[in-house]
Amino acid sequence: MALSKISVEKYDLIVLGGGPGGYVAAIRGAQLGMKVAVVERELLGGICLNWGCIPTKALLRSAEVFHNMKHAADYGLIAQRIDFDLDAVVKRSRGVAAQLNAGIIGLMKKNKIKVYMGEGRLLKKGLLTVEKDGSKIADLAADDIIIATGARARELPHLKADGKLIWTYRHALTPNVMPKKLLVIGSGAIGIEFASFFNELGSNVTVVEMMDRVTPVEDHDISAFALKSFKKQGMNIMLNSSVTKLQSKADSVICTVESKDGKLQNIEVDRVIVAIGIQANSENIGLEENNIKTDRGHVVTDEWGHTSMKGVHAIGDLTGAPWLAHKASHEGVIIAEKIARDKGNKAVIDLHPLNKGNIPGCTYCRPQIASVGMTERAAIEKGFKIKAGKFPFIANGKAIALGETEGMVKTVFCAKTGELLGAHMIGAEVTEMISTYALARTLETTEAELIHTVFAHPTLSETMHESVLDAFGKAIHI
């Protein structure tokens, strides 16, 4: 390698990883006048766009339309011989991802960002090498390097995916058969979305969750509501349980499930999806060699994305929770602007670190779940005296007209100051509605502004208003 004749190419900013954190940071950097390079080993747009957020939404949309077809009679419509073509469903999902991937390639060109397709590795401060299939294709130098290599599905030795019978989200996105019986390990966002999809299309789905409730990061009331709904849809939910062994047969897997009280149970299913969290992609990118500090695989940064090495920044999933694309993108913009400002760019003004308490989270199972801020229990544990309000979809006119009466909105306020500490929603389209509460938190509104806001009628959003009213004893429709 030392004899390589490749000359070093100079940039103002190098971004390692072209996912929603990296490509956004690159665009913002380029907009601020920097000469920017992006190094990506697989596909621009990263997991989010190619193997995560977006293609799963495409699959879930198919499931939703299918669900509505099955319930056509409820709306006075006639739909006969209702069926689906799995290959076509998957093909549509891949097409959506491909369309967006092409869009990112276009954005890179438009912003004159040079893209290196290969595996990047930090050699030393300011220097990065790019390899493709084991041979070097470029050496890149820049004063500032942003590492945004993201994360992948966490695996445990006894829960290893083989891609045939035992899947991670990646395999589950391109199923070649519809499993008659499916077992999903983990009821976080990824696990429960796939459980929803396959359940809707007719699989007999079992979800195994270690905690005492589904979607454990959400508010207890939301978890309880979701559990009831999933059971009604026919899912088999095993709480307080973990899968201790997976034994693959010819075309099935025998799963040993152990409950908290030590009871063992063998369940034979066609396919298994392992969704037990994620782990950072922090290996083989030169972190260890350069003594860049990590904590359980996640790169340690300050609020400006600085790592322990000057000139090396990190953003997104690589740096830890919450593992959300919109967090990575937001950090990408902030860090790119910080770098530009530190280089003397006067156009960057009013820069603030990201407030992680204001990042909404969305899960696209049926019914959808969305939340921002603290759960009721977290608020109480933090010492807040709270006022909480709830409002059910069944009391909302639009929800009844839509035939989407399953849902509720819960809001948690600080009793003393009226701060909206958290908002928790379950029901149709709540993922589209949560941003209103995120805005309320970012603007630091109190209950007064929310109460005085006119929510349009008839909308599902009126439930958000009523929930706030309920917290202060003023709800009208319950």
Partner 1 sequence: MAIEIRMPALSPTMEVGTLSKWLVKEGDSVESGTLLAEIETDKATMEHETIDDGIVGKLYVAEGTENVEVGDLIAVLFEEGEDASVLDTIAIGAVSASPVAVPAIETPKAAPALSIKRELPAVSPSSASSNKRVFSSPLARRIAEQNGYQIEDITGTGPYGRIIKRDVESFVPQISSVQSSFGADLSGDTAYVEEKLSGMRKTIARRLTQSKQEVPHFYLGVDIELDNLLQARKELNVMSDEYKISVNDFIIRAVGLALKKVPEANVQFGGDVVRKYSRADISVAVAIEGGLITPIVRGAEHKGLRAISEEVKELAKKARDGKLMPEEYQGGTFSVSNLGMMGIKSFQAVINAPQAAILAVGAGEKRAVIDKDGVVKAATVMSVNLACDHRAIDGAVGAEFLAAFKNFLEFPSTMLL
Does position 449 bind partner 1 by CB under 8 A? yes
State which residue, 70 or 310, has the beta carbon closest to partner 1. 310
Query: Smallest distance, Å, CB 415 to partner 1?
Result: 12
Sign of CA dihedral 456, 423, 188, 297: positive
| Nearest alpha-carbon partner for 441 in 471, 474, 413 | 413
Q: Which of 132, 231, 260, 416 binds partner 1 (CB under 8 A)?
A: 416
Residues 21-50 interacting with partner 1 (rule: CB under 8 A): none
Contact between 444 and partner 1 by CB under 8 A: the answer reads yes
Go through the chain and tell me how many residues it has. Answer: 478
Residues 157-176, one symbol each (x = binds partner 1 by CB under 8 A, - = not), give --------------------
Binding mask 329-368 for partner 1 (x = CB under 8 A): ---------------------x-xx---------------
C-beta closer to partner 1: residue 254 or 443: 443
Among residues 62, 445, 461, 463, the one that binds partner 1 under rule CB under 8 A? 445
Closer to partner 1 at the Cβ: 232 or 352? 352
Toward partner 1, which CB reaches closer, 263 or 452?
A: 452
Instruction: Considering the candidates 71, 457, 465, 477, report the single residue annotated as catalytic.
Output: 457
Residue 457 appears among annotated catalytic residues: yes
Binding flag, residue 303, partner 1 (CB under 8 A) = yes
Q: Which position among 233, 446, 453, 459 is part of the footprint of partner 1 (CB under 8 A)?
A: 446
418 binds partner 1 (CB under 8 A): yes
For position 419 contacting partner 1 by CB under 8 A, the verdict is yes
Which is closer to partner 1, CB of 443 or CB of 476?
443
Nearest to partner 1 of 44, 292 (CB atom) = 292
CB 25 within 8 A of CB 51: no
Which residues are marked as active site?
A: 457
Residues that bind partner 1 (CB under 8 A): 293, 302-303, 308, 350, 352-353, 416-419, 443-446, 448-449
